[in-house]
Chain A
Amino acid sequence: MTTPALTGALVRLTTLDLEKDLEEWARWMQDSEYQRTLDMGPSLLFTPAAIRAWMEKEIGKDLCMFSIREITEDRLVGFIDLSGFDWPARSCWVGIGIGDPRDRGRGFGTEAMRLAARYAFEQLNLNRINLNVFEFNPGAVRSYEKAGFVHEGRERAVLNRYGRRWDMLFMGLLRQDWEQQRT
């Protein structure tokens, strides 16, 4: 199911296909680098069924989950989700993953982020989108900068991975930032 507002030049955002898409998710999770870049907690492995059970509980509660599909082949390349809604503050968190390393660096994530931001501001009437990103993921940092997110600081040395400590960067996109960027 798509609406034109969720379609870009390279990708479109769709709802999750709980049957088919989660098989891909389980496959992506077999790549430990994918997990270590995505998540702070220790890497774990799940069956598609286990992911589905978790997803069925969470979706629609405090979680708005999209599949990112590459347009020419309608191929699933990742996910993007909005969660942690604070309605009085009109803010939420965004998370994104591009599953296959060969699909990274191609602009899919940046465009998905732009589409999700537009959805958040135009449909959900939010004022702010939060994200955090690991210092050892400069590709993501660049992508978020291109999507208009502003650096807001870093929690120092919070991550212990690959034998050393790294910062966790915080970035945010305000409605006023987004509106200015569109002119």
Chain B
Amino acid sequence: MSGQPLYYGKTLRLTALEAEKDAPVVAGWTYEPETASRLREGTVNPMTPYEVRRILEGWIKDAEDNGRDFVFGFRPIGEERLVGFLRFAHVQWVHGAAIVNLVIGEERDWEATAREALEMALNYAFDELNLFRVTMRFSENDLAACRLVQQANFTLEVRQRQALYRSGRYVDRLSFGMLRPEWEVFRIQEVMA
């Protein structure tokens, strides 16, 4: 038996995060409000590498210890540079559901790789974790992320009005979901393309 390689896409690979090495890069991303807002729930302020390292260490430790958190870094194949990360925090095993947190730090990397990163994330979620559904949540301001998931046939399910505050105004938080049967269709379309 053989399945899709989980850790290699066309141009990206999934790798372990390295707290010490990757913290300065991630810290740089916290200066861009939309990127920062993708890092985790709530408002994210610019952070020092020290603070970010502590957070990454926490994520890595949780992933090692609790059996329901997963975290990976995205690096281009053949390079060590961190371009993003993927995190499943608190997988609900009973329900086969998880929130997917996908971050690509730089705009130019987003253009080139976000779709591929999303496919790798979904492969891992549905093919390896055997989930029934994934959720992704973004600010309505995050047009690139909203476009990405809508093109991938996620369904917009929830609009929490004025749930976030960005650049001087309240914006809505959107929840998008994909169910396993929808991913099966998505996967067939990808193979045919």
Contacts and interface: CB of A to CB of B under 8 A. Distances in A.
A153 B94 contact: no
Given A40-B92, A157-B132, A128 B97 contact: no
**Could you tell me the dominant secondary structure of chain B's interface residues?**
strand
A130 B96 CA distance: 24
B159 A153 contact: yes
B158 A170 contact: yes
B50 interface: no
B185 to A, nearest CB: 15
Contacts of A157: 132-133, 179
Q: How large is the interface on A (under 10, 10 to 19, 20 to 34, 35 or more residues)?
A: 20 to 34
A156 B155 contact: yes
Contact of B157 (A88, A155, A172): A155
A128 B162 contact: yes
Contacts of A16: none
Nearest to B179: A157
Nearest to A167: B157
Contact of A152 (B94, B133, B155, B158): B158
A42 interface: yes
Interface string B35-73: 000000111000000000000000000000000000000
B89 to A, nearest CB: 14
24 contacts: A40-B94, A41-B94, A84-B41, A86-B43, A88-B43, A89-B163, A127-B162, A127-B170, A128-B163, A152-B160, A153-B159, A154-B158, A155-B133, A155-B157, A155-B177, A156-B177, A159-B95, A160-B96, A160-B97, A160-B132, A170-B158, A170-B175, A172-B160, A172-B163
Interface of B: 41-43, 92, 94-97, 132-133, 135, 155-165, 170, 175, 177, 179
